[in-house]
Amino acid sequence: MKQTPPHIAILPSPAISHLIPVVELARRLLLHDDLHVTIIIPCSDDLPPSDATKSVLESLPKPNTRTIFLPPDRFDDLPSDSRPTAELAFTVSHHLPSIHRVLKSLASRNTTTPPLVAVFVSLFAIDALDIAKGLGISSYVFYPMNAISLSVFFHLSKLDEIAASYDFLKDLPEPVKLPGCPSFRGRDLFSGVQDRRTDMYKKFLQFSKRLVSGEDFKGIVVNSVRDIESEAVKALQEENSGKLTIYPVGPIVNIDSSGQNNQDSECLTWLGNQPRGSVLYVSFGSGGTLSFDQMTELAFGLERSGQRFIWVVRKPNTQPPNATCLGPLEPLGFLPNGFLERTKGRGLVLPDWAPQVRVLGHGSTGGFLSHCGWSSTLESVVNGVPLIVWPLAAEQKMNAVLLVERLKVALRPKADDEDGLVRREEIANLVKALMEGTSEECRTVRNRMKDLKDLAVKALGEDGSSTRALSQLVSMLKKI
């Protein structure tokens, strides 16, 4: 008798940057074995499903996938000064009754798809573990970031005790040393755990305690490569031996190059006319922004470097000093006067968005100035593109420490001690050094990134560590 294929549900947070790894995990699982996957998307009036979200979901193979958008909800109890991470967590928590109804329906044997055997929850959907437990559904945590940031959550309760006399973890006088991780300064830790007074910190502390207990779920699927984060992965596995399983299945990244649109065509045509390895790609992720003053310094730094570049520009998060006199500005009106004309032919400036996967995979791209979000970092790794790291939020400062100090695949600019700005001279010198390979450090960065690319490719091979971890996960799902 043929065995019924496992049916799993995945509950991500609604942000596109969180959704893409979930979709790629689903795609990997579907390629690996005969499964059914349902992705449940919480929505709000402020976070409706975007065209990009719908496009990403529609790319999944049919008929074994299904997407359920939960009814949009508006909530008035979110503090006006809340960070985006808090909004994501609130969006999910307000949908818990809807999540309960959907999971109960999927678990029913009256459905047209096989009954649900497991639910995978994201960091911001951790409260759904209680729902799954009440319905008798097995649970897993999907952690789309890396092993070192996951280690922070496993040890946050201990860090909280150490930091008992401080409101902010950035004020810790001694380096933070976690098993298998590089040493971190307090200010480099995950931004969401910096302020011990916030509701978000308390929520993360509860998550930490659930991780340590390991009672409500069977394992954690982490977007890491064992051979790249070997010490951190080993430490996590040893600490949790006999309690829950850590599955390092990365790199989980979007590598699809289909569906080119007009903006893609402009960008790729321009890239195709540049010498091999000569272009620096500059992007701060789907939501990263700079101040007006920092954007000005970056513009002049790119200009002074003399290097070719593609820069994804977004409106700065502060206004120029004379903004009230200027009136509404064009999308690129925040750039210095004459910048576009002076860099014409050598630089391509794109408002808001670029086809990042295609840019990083193009032979003309030789470097990436990045906010070093983990998805962007992995996209750089799988294409062997060395980095200049410019962390802004979330776990990005931890990623920067990993990339610069341990893996040695990135350079990091130094900010001015007085105002925190990275000056144009520093930017110009660093960009020129990376792109021209003028120092031993830069040559090491390039060679090390090639090595990391080989490790990532090997991990996804037929007998690679990530392939084996995924196979182990699927085997467990089939036994439920």
Low-confidence ranges of the chain (pLDDT < 50): 1, 81, 257-259, 323-329
pLDDT for 13: 77
Question: Measuring CA to CA, which residue among 291, 294, 300 is closest to residue 336?
Answer: 300
Query: 383-406 pLDDT, tens per residue?
Result: 999 999 999 988 999 999 999 999
pLDDT for 327: 42
Tokens of residue 281, six digits:
């790609």
DSSP 394-408: TTHHHHHHIIIIIS-
Question: Measuring CA to CA, which residue among 463, 478, 283 is closest to residue 380?
Answer: 283
pLDDT for 473: 95
CATH class of 7-255+462-479: alpha beta
What is residue 115's DSSP assignment? Answer: P
Query: 339-373 pLDDT, tens per residue?
Result: 999 999 999 999 988 999 999 999 999 999 999 99
Strands (E), 305-371: 308-313, 347-351, 365-370
- The count of residues in the chain is 480
| Pairwise CA distance, residues 358 & 256, whole Å | 8
Question: Measuring CA to CA, which residue among 19, 183, 159 is closest to residue 88?
Answer: 19
| Pairwise CA distance, residues 73 & 395, whole Å | 28
Exposure letters 94-111 (e unless 16+ CB within 10 A, then b): bbeebbbebbeebbeeee
pLDDT for 257: 47
Domain positions in the chain are: 7-255+462-479, 262-456
What are the Cα distances from residue 195, in Å, to 80, 83, 457?
Answer: 17, 12, 38
User: How many other CB atoms are found less than 10 A from the CB of residue 35?
Assistant: 20
Residue appearing with tokens 């902010």: 168
| Pairwise CA distance, residues 49 & 73, whole Å | 12
6 and 30 in contact (C-beta within 8 Å)? Answer: no
The CATH fold assigned to 262-456 is Rossmann fold (3.40.50)
Question: Measuring CA to CA, which residue among 278, 320, 270 is closest to residue 295?
Answer: 320
Tokens of residue 77, six digits:
């109890």
- Through-space distance between the first and last CA atoms of the chain, rounded to whole angstroms: 17
| Pairwise CA distance, residues 235 & 256, whole Å | 33
Do the domains at 7-255+462-479 and 262-456 have one common CATH topology?
yes
